[in-house]
């Protein structure tokens, strides 16, 4: 990238704009997650069939995520994000329109592909802004994602409680979120490649430094994906909860995620990345045990809330650790992103497969075991602690571009 300087106010506006983009992205996810039971009934699917269809989300994301870097290189970060985010918000309409397994698989492929590309583009911008500001902002950005998902899931809870058709609900939500996303993209940084800069490769294996960090992210995002897409189904099918109460469990999960992520930067600065993740892992395990042993919907809802609290800050810390690991931070961050987000996309389908073969209780036993991996492997995040950032001097009038 060129050595362009950015004014302090421009970077600050870009930070808020990217935060709004994160919120819009999260709102799409929350809107979808709360209506999964409706989509399952509309397409007349069993648990195994639903899990199979959700697997196409991971397939679509895996195919498309590596293309996001090339799209940004070709069109610039602002135009690329604007287009990819619009495709993502509009893809919300597709799953609720699917009348059967085959069309739902196609819809979930498109949903996953657009989700993955928009996710990579907005996280790349977040990392660049964090470097320009020289302080941690990624936990807060992911907190805005959770806040957006909370708003989306709250609207979905209300829609489910009122018995509304998910096709109408998702069409209205997609229209509103597309408009908000386009507005936010007007103020993000428009990063352009240097004339002699080679485009990124279409596909690249994650570097070795990213694998262990990605393992921690894998455990957290697996629990997140499983809880988002199956918490409502768990309460409805396992504990005979109403449609509104089942959807509210997803909302509670997202609420604790949002609160913990927004406060996450302060917690990490005080206790360090390793101790924060280890404590979170223990909370997530406690939440998983409550879910597995629950005999009443309220107990399971408390378990999902604790699960969200425990895993909240893990992914932002994984990005931070990757940025300080090895000689090629960008490649390490991309590798960790691929591992963690693929985990979240495959989790729902694996949960469905295990539930079909055994039960949803056994499925969440698997989630609980993986959550314990946060405490076991938290030590690999020490690079994030060693790479702490400092605040910008108040006297600074411009922020230099750190890119070569």
208 φ, ψ to 5°? -60, -35
In the beta sheet, which residues pair with residue 398?
7
Q: Is the dihedral of CA 64, 65, 70, 73 positive or negative?
A: positive
pLDDT at 184: 96
pLDDT for the residue 2 = 43
Alpha-carbon gap, residue 273 to 262, rounded angstroms: 15
Give me the pLDDT at residue 332, please. Answer: 65
pLDDT in tens, 161-207: 899 999 999 999 999 999 999 999 999 999 887 676 666 666 656 66
Q: Is the pLDDT of residue 123 over 50?
A: yes
pLDDT band of 396, cuts 50, 70, 90: very low
Asked if residue 1 has pLDDT above 50, the reply is: no
Kindly tell me if the per-residue pLDDT of 71 is higher than 80.
yes
Model confidence at 314: pLDDT above 50: yes
Give the percent of the chain with pLDDT over 70.
86
pTM of the full structure: 0.78
Residues 55 and 351 sit within 8 Å (Cβ to Cβ): no
Q: How far apart are CA 202 and CA 113, in angstroms?
A: 15
pLDDT at 200: 61
Is the model's pLDDT at 322 over the cut of 80?
no
């Amino acid at each position: 990238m060129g050595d362009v300087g950015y004014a302090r106010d421009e970077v600050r506006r870009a930070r808020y704009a990217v935060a709004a983009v994160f919120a819009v992205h999260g709102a799409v996810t929350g809107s979808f997650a709360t209506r999964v039971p409706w989509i399952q009934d509309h397409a007349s699917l069993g648990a195994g069939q639903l899990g199979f269809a959700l697997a196409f989300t991971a397939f679509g994301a895996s195919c498309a995520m590596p293309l996001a870097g090339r799209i940004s290189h070709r069109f610039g970060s602002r135009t690329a994000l604007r287009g990819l985010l619009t495709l993502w918000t509009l893809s919300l309409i597709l799953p609720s329109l699917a009348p059967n397994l085959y069309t739902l698989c196609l819809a979930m492929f498109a949903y996953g592909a657009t989700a993955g590309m928009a996710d990579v583009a907005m996280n790349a911008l977040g990392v660049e802004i964090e470097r320009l500001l020289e302080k941690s902002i990624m936990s807060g950005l992911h907190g805005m994602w959770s806040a957006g998902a909370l708003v989306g899931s709250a609207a979905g809870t209300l829609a489910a409680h009122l018995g509304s058709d998910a096709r109408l609900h998702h069409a209205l939500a997609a229209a509103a979120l597309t408009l908000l996303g386009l507005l936010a993209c007007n103020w993000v940084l428009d990063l352009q490649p240097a004339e002699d800069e080679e485009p990124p490769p279409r596909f690249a294996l994650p570097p070795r430094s990213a694998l262990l960090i990605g393992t921690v992210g894998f455990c957290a995002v697996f629990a997140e994906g499983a809880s988002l897409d199956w918490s409502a189904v768990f309460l409805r099918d396992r504990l005979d909860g109403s449609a509104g109460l089942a959807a509210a469990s997803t909302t509670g999960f997202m609420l604790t995620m949002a609160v913990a992520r927004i406060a996450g930067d302060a917690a990490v600065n005080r206790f360090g990345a390793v101790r924060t993740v280890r404590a979170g892992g223990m909370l997530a395990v406690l939440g998983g045990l409550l879910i597995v042993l629950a005999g009443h919907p309220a107990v399971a809802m408390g378990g999902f809330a604790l699960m969200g609290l425990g895993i909240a800050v893990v992914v932002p810390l994984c990005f931070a650790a990757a940025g300080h690991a090895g000689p090629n931070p960008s490649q390490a961050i991309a590798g960790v992103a691929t591992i963690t987000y693929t985990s979240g996309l495959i989790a729902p389908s694996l949960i469905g497969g295990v539930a079909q073969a055994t039960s949803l209780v056994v499925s969440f036993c698997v989630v609980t075991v993986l959550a314990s991996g946060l405490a076991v492997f938290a030590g690999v995040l020490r690079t994030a602690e060693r790479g702490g950032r400092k605040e910008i001097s108040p006297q600074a009038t411009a922020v230099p571009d750190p890119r070569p």
